[in-house]
Amino acid sequence: MRDFLLDDADRAFRCEVRDFLRRELAPRASDIEDQQDWSAVKHVVRSLGEAGYLRLMFPELYRGPLAKPGLTHATVLSEEAAYINYAFETTIATALSCAYPLHRHAGERLRETYLDPILDGTAIGAICVTEPNVGSDSAGMETRIDFDAKTNEWVINGFKRYISNASVADVYIVYGTATDADPAHAGMTAVAVPATAPGVRFPRNYTFMGRRGCIVGEVEFNDCRVPADHLLGERGGGFRIMRGMFNFERAILGGSGLGVARSAFDIATAHAQRRRSFGQMLGCKQLIWEKIAQMSWRIDAAELLTYRATKMYDAGADGKALMKEAAMAKLVATETANFCANETVQILGGDGITKEYGRAEQVYRDARALTIVGGTSEVAKYLIASRDLPDIRINL
């Protein structure tokens, strides 16, 4: 059965959040997709904050009925949101990825200023990692984060791209290099930068084939200055912060992939049981039910790996202890989303590539980003293999 690793309380929560999103997100999903309506996105984010759903992964800040809230429940939220609209889910997943290092590594004043509004749904967060010459190889960052002892400020210079929530976020977690350390990641540092800080600019937003309604663009920092207390953790501690953030993000992306895969699967199975071809239901054809069976077992496998990772996190695993499992969850769930979206379009035929006949083409376009964002499938395989081959250094 589905939800094998979830207990009764988890399943009850899934029903609760599913009903909530059907009320709040589903009626606005077409505006987000067709009009890229940011006000619709903000409305649902605020509603989630008011309901307490953005606090799920921070047990001491959570105020709801769950006895032991955690990443498992945040992932259920992401899965159910992605089922309806992956672009919206990207917005909240990115905001939570911003909240994660603020909660774990920011000082009290910084948390009050930036974390609380994100969790209340009144502010949006973003993460700045990717650069023109830096994708998966984060150690090669060219952005500089230097400390000016005279003014007691951090000075940021650099250019980031493919930043979800760029230009609409209220605060940005920026990663850069504070020293010329060797290895390079030893000097990586993270700071929180408000959108209103002098020297922050947003050159442009991108147009993607999918995820319409999710704003993604560029962020430029020109002698941008923030107070000394905007440092997260310690100088040179950014790589460790980022690794923990990526574990969290990849588990959440497992939920995103599951939501998109399930959405495609439901479209395909409904069509296979409704459409008649050559005198029979389409689902009676061997080539069709073979596709359905392939989709079904892949979704189950992705779900087991995803909620294994979240349950491990909620039990205390993190860092290297969770790296392989989080990578597996992200890899299998996002590859499954692409597989299911592709097979669904094929099962629907012309209806699958026509916007007038449902959401199959949207799901197909949305799914393609999943194996790229948050670390490509190739990087996920590297992380998995690096744990299984501990005696050698794998050459990327």
Residues 345-385: pLDDT tens digits?
A: 999 999 899 998 889 999 999 999 999 998 899 999 999 99
Does residue 182 surpass a pLDDT of 80?
no
Domain range list for the chain? 8-120, 125-236, 239-388
**CATH classification of 8-120 is 1.10.540.10, yes or no?**
yes
- Distance, CA of 42 to CA of 362 (rounded, Å): 21
For residue 324, how far is the Cα from the chain centroid?
Answer: 17
Output the pLDDT for position 180: 63
CATH number of the domain located at residue range(s) 125-236 in this protein: 2.40.110.10
| Band of pLDDT at residue 185, cut at 50, 70 and 90 | low
- Distance, CA of 362 to CA of 215 (rounded, Å): 17
Tell me the pTM. Answer: 0.93
Output the pLDDT for position 312: 95
Q: What is the amino acid identity at position 257?
A: G
Output the pLDDT for position 306: 97
Does residue 183 surpass a pLDDT of 60?
no
Residues 304-333 have a mean pLDDT of 93
- Distance, CA of 97 to CA of 368 (rounded, Å): 21
Residues 203-212 have a mean pLDDT of 93
- Distance, CA of 226 to CA of 66 (rounded, Å): 37
| Band of pLDDT at residue 135, cut at 50, 70 and 90 | confident
User: pLDDT averaged over the chain?
Assistant: 91
| Band of pLDDT at residue 184, cut at 50, 70 and 90 | low
User: Taking the CB of residue 117, how many other CB atoms lie within 10 A of it?
Assistant: 17
Of 144, 193, 136, 185, nearest to 162 (Cα)? Answer: 136
Which CATH code, of 1.20.140.10, 1.10.10.60, 3.20.20.120, 1.10.357.10, is assigned to 239-388? Answer: 1.20.140.10
